[in-house]
Chain A
């Protein structure tokens, strides 16, 4: 097969039609104290203390920013434990015993619209910073840093493409609750004083387009339009989305803000709305469990801090005939393989995929160049692979291996089933 991969089989049929299950609260909630961007933390509660939902229990700090740690449950504080989070790294968590009362912290009060209307950019930035909103699509980048840009922003783009196969959590979020998403976008537009808002979505997701079009009629005073994009992978890559939705090509490695454009994930938008309007941090999120090795694929609305094992149990466990499984956090193309299923859902964990493990038999490369035709970053993966085998750094620099976004298409299309993406990753490491 010598051709560009236009479409990746997406296996979403089942999960898009399933309604979201509100998961019964677990007994124990794990609240992440560290994550991949913040390595140190300070706690201001002790074992045995009673905490409420949305209460600040400490502060974690990364290299150049700090964010408060919020409780997502009401109950009693327990031990500090080490567990894996959705990025596959071991992080520290504090256990909280759920009292199932869901008592809200006293300072959580709704803001009236009149107050919000008078907000300036600094006010929005402060709220988002204070509620520790981060990129919920998986990046985990603090949203306030993006909102705090000094550049003139013309367009705010909501990335609702969700091009990874199997994943449906953003899909269900828009289908069930489109209003927070649109209002979050409006707040972002207000904060940045941007004249235009764009919701970028695949044109094949017709039910979502219907929902959004109906909903947008209520917000006619704002200049928000839907950008219906072609269905191919990796349409959800920021640069690709911007190019097709707004028509601006941002060079790889440059900040889109310089070009008057900024992008947020759907869940991030909804989180911005929750933070600004209801004064709430991210307490719950949409979560997909899917894959061919799980008995009941399902979308859940889970409390942040739930252990995935509880959800697996609720999805009726793994299929019987699966001897070896891959446990993946994120999508099948870019997701991270987990060493264990004992994973805690943090705000940035979007989904868990359980796939039967297949060992592909590698054959010699036949230079069919499907990878070259498919690479969205304009690279030549097969040449990079050969340069890595030769340990040829000059060639790697000439081939611009550092521009790789690890979308996984080169390995996906490979006729010889070679894991090309791995070689390109090695190439990036060689370049340093």
Chain B
């Protein structure tokens, strides 16, 4: 028996573990994985496997080389690998689920390798990355292999376009409701789109699980979805169109998926509650603007990456603060009002 000196506190919260948090995200993704496999069969299995394995193996090889270079000798288990705390598996799964079902396996693998290497490993591994790994890999695939990535089935009058594709061509096209009923978009059954992004219902189930386990910060998805909802409502009112419009925006594309699983990645979000609200608000605005005025039908991953860049600025010690006060709140309200104004004016000119 020996008395050891330590510094206070001498207690730790029992449930606070990185493994628990990351494992919860993986569990929350499981319904989507099952849904993707049921919908797309073996294609989904291969894409998801390729996405996860490419990331895991890249990381493994990287750390083995690092260890060998440091002269530590070869051991099969590598303690730096984040496979043990599910971090890299989570990234891989999210990346795989954002991919369309016809993505060639080679593209998936290249995206995974490049994504985990450029977005995570060269920054210093887990906890150091600036960009969301899954979003980075996804954007890399879109920009490099845009032509090879496509949706196959469910071809309709608009030739395989998603609801957002139609909306992007014509901001207020009522035709979209003819093609896709809102209920279909909610359940995601029989909808074209990426592997895991189509079923809003299952994503919300995962989100509720994460909320109950307190494994993500619910402020981020709420603000994000709320921002898009408010902005699309503003468009709805100014254009005098139906309620289907904001609902289509919410339920289509990767919005809910991105809000629940990608924007909430704690490593790439600010650390204060007001900061997280600004961050999610920024993602919401950028997503909506890309959808409305941009050249691309889908803006979630771009918006997340763009706001990731602003995290150090939001967290800058001079103005970051733990709580809102009256001054911060009033400035933020003015910003919200201005954003709504810009949206309405913009739609009138662009529409």
**Cβ-defined contact, B3 with A2, below 8 A:** no
Please tell me if B331 contacts chain A, counting CB pairs below 8 Å: no
**Cβ-defined contact, B9 with A366, below 8 A:** no
Within 8 A of A (CB), among B304-351: 315, 317-318, 320-323
Chain B min CB distance to A313 (Å): 14
Please tell me if B6 contacts chain A, counting CB pairs below 8 Å: yes
Chain B min CB distance to A241 (Å): 20
* A383-B317, A398-B318, A408-B8 as given contacts; A367 in contact with B17, CB under 8 Å: no
Chain B residue, CB-CB nearest to A421 = B9
Please tell me if B169 contacts chain A, counting CB pairs below 8 Å: no
- Which of B14, B267, B276 has its CB near the most chain A CB atoms (within 10 A)? B267
Interface string of B180-217 (1 = CB under 8 A from A): 00000000000000000000000000000000011111
* Chain B residues positioned under 8 Å from A1 (CB to CB): 13, 15-17, 20-21, 213-215
CA distance A408 to B12 in the complex (A): 9
**Cβ-defined contact, B6 with A2, below 8 A:** no
If over half of A's interface residues share one DSSP class (helix, strand or loop), that class is named, otherwise mixed; here it is: loop
Please tell me if B155 contacts chain A, counting CB pairs below 8 Å: no
Q: Please count the residue pairs between chain A and chain B whose beta carbons lie under 8 angstroms apart in the complex.
A: 161
Within 8 A of A (CB), among B272-322: 272-273, 276, 315, 317-318, 320-322
Interface string of A360-374 (1 = CB under 8 A from B): 100111111110110
* A341-B3, A367-B267, A413-B16 as given contacts; A375 in contact with B322, CB under 8 Å: yes
**Cβ-defined contact, A399 with B6, below 8 A:** no
CA distance A373 to B271 in the complex (A): 9
* A2-B214, A333-B8, A366-B21 as given contacts; A9 in contact with B1, CB under 8 Å: no
Chain A residue, CB-CB nearest to B80 = A364
**Cβ-defined contact, B317 with A399, below 8 A:** yes
Partner of A332, one of B9, B127, B270, B315: B9
**Cβ-defined contact, B317 with A387, below 8 A:** yes
Please tell me if A380 contacts chain B, counting CB pairs below 8 Å: yes
User: How many residues of A sit at the interface, in one of the four size bands?
Assistant: 35 or more
**Cβ-defined contact, B10 with A339, below 8 A:** no
* Chain A residues positioned under 8 Å from B1 (CB to CB): 318, 322-325
Told that A325-B4, A367-B269, A408-B9 touch, could you supply 6 new A-B pairs with CB distance under 8 A?
A2-B214, A323-B2, A332-B11, A366-B126, A382-B271, A406-B8
Interface positions of B (Cβ within 8 A of A): 1-18, 20-21, 85, 125-128, 213-217, 266-267, 269-273, 276, 315, 317-318, 320-323
Interface positions of A (Cβ within 8 A of B): 1-3, 5, 8-9, 165, 318, 322-328, 332-341, 353, 355, 357-358, 360, 363-370, 372-373, 375, 378-380, 382-383, 387, 394-395, 398-399, 406, 408-409, 411-417, 419, 421-422, 425
User: Could you list some 14 contacts between A and B, CB below 8 A?
Assistant: A1-B213, A2-B217, A5-B13, A322-B1, A324-B4, A332-B10, A333-B9, A338-B5, A367-B271, A370-B16, A380-B322, A411-B12, A413-B16, A422-B7
